Structure 1
Amino acid sequence: MSDLKAIKKRLRMEALARRDAMDETARIEASLEIAAHGTALLADAVRGRIVSGFLPIRSEVDLRPLMTALADHGARLCVPAIVDKELEFRELKRGAELVDQGFGTVAPGPDAAVLVPGIMLVPLSAFDRQGGRIGYGGGFYDRAIQRFETDGARPRLVGTAFAVQEIEKAPMASHDHFLDAVVTEAGVIEPRSRT
């Protein structure tokens, strides 16, 4: 294992342990605060745009309140589905049937429209104030973002996490993508410079 991978693994495990240590009530309340901050950040930008979110697994932020608010402001929502070990963003409509995706998550079925998001609410295990992100280690989001960029559709990347997941500096490899903003229950972090 390379030094960078080992460092990321350690930082990921430490941040996820802090997230897992939050009690359920604290996670629910923090998710509602994240929804309020995220709505304030994005409400004016989402009308008529495609926004990808995600449905929570384990102790992740519950983005359903934020996604509902953004839909109420005119966003068209999608969430990731895993297809041939890659992410495909399928339209999420109220009342749509969801199918098991493995990894403890669900997504709309294969008949749902496949969309290209202009704004992505990105899950993460750890983040820093420069927009650095450590994911879960599979590279799913980085590959999806790279595909969109290659096709000329670079989405706005908004990380969503609890404040306890912040680290001093996220080590970034050449294939990693910096976030344009991070929303936590403590507020919005918009990186000004990356040093």
Structure 2
Amino acid sequence: MPDKQTVRKCMGELRRKVGMNAHAGLLKMLSRALQEERRVLTVGTYQPIGSEPDINSELLRWSAADGARALALPWCTDREASCMEYRLWDPCEKLEADAAGIPGSRKGACVVPDVLLIPCLGWTRSRRRLGYGGGYFDRYISKLLESGASPRLLGVAYGVNEVDDSLFEPHDLPLDLIITDSGIF
């Protein structure tokens, strides 16, 4: 069984080869998933880096349909400790690099989103997520759960990036849903 680092490399290569049809299918499934999330006012999204799916066109449409809806982006406050928070995102705002070098909203107010859309390098049908291994999302989610907050956790991936459950350990908690171009799991 290959280790997580080997699988991460392979999944990144697969994701880079995904075509426009898969991307369009992913946006369609994302739209469907958001329609099911009826009480959501704030969605935590991400600015894609590398080959991560760019889902923000769909999210901008979603937020524009209701003036009460808002989008937020992660902001890394301490790279060494993998600490991050979410800040409200004004799409007209010029994004700045955070402590991890990822574009985000320096000026936005800190919020706890109702839903977090989390990019996945790999995913399983039991809704586990393979990330880059930095621990940013895991630490943020743990901190939220400890505080009593319970946002919906939705992974975003391409169908080709499905991996085997044997990669994961019992402490790797599942997400609420995984959204892919081939379906919602």
TM-score by length of 1: 0.83
- Given candidates 58, 70, 78, the residue that maps to 2:72 is 78
Structure 1 residue 104, shift from structure 2 partner: 5.8
Measure the CA separation in 2 of the matches of 1:64 and 1:170. 32
Distance change (3 Å), C-alpha of 1:156 and 1:188: same
Distance change (3 Å), C-alpha of 1:168 and 1:176: closer
Aligned-residue identity in percent: 27
Matches within 5 A, 1:39-188: 39-46=31-38, 49-74=41-66, 75-85=69-79, 86-101=83-98, 105-109=102-106, 111-169=107-165, 171-188=167-184
Compare 13-22 and 159-168 and name the one that shifted more. 13-22
Matched to 1:154, the amino acid is: S
Structure 1 residue 63, shift from structure 2 partner: 1.2
Measure the CA separation in 2 of the matches of 1:127 and 1:133. 5
The count of corresponding residues between Structure 1 and Structure 2 is 180
Matched to 1:167, the amino acid is: V
Matched to 1:80, the amino acid is: P
Distance change (3 Å), C-alpha of 1:185 and 1:136: same
Stretches of structure 1 lacking an aligned partner (at least 5 in a row):
190-195
CA RMSD of aligned residues (A): 2.1
TM-score by length of 2: 0.87
Deviations 1:20-76 (A, max 9, x none): 233xxx1x4433322221111122425552210101111110011221133134431
Stretches of structure 2 lacking an aligned partner (at least 5 in a row):
none
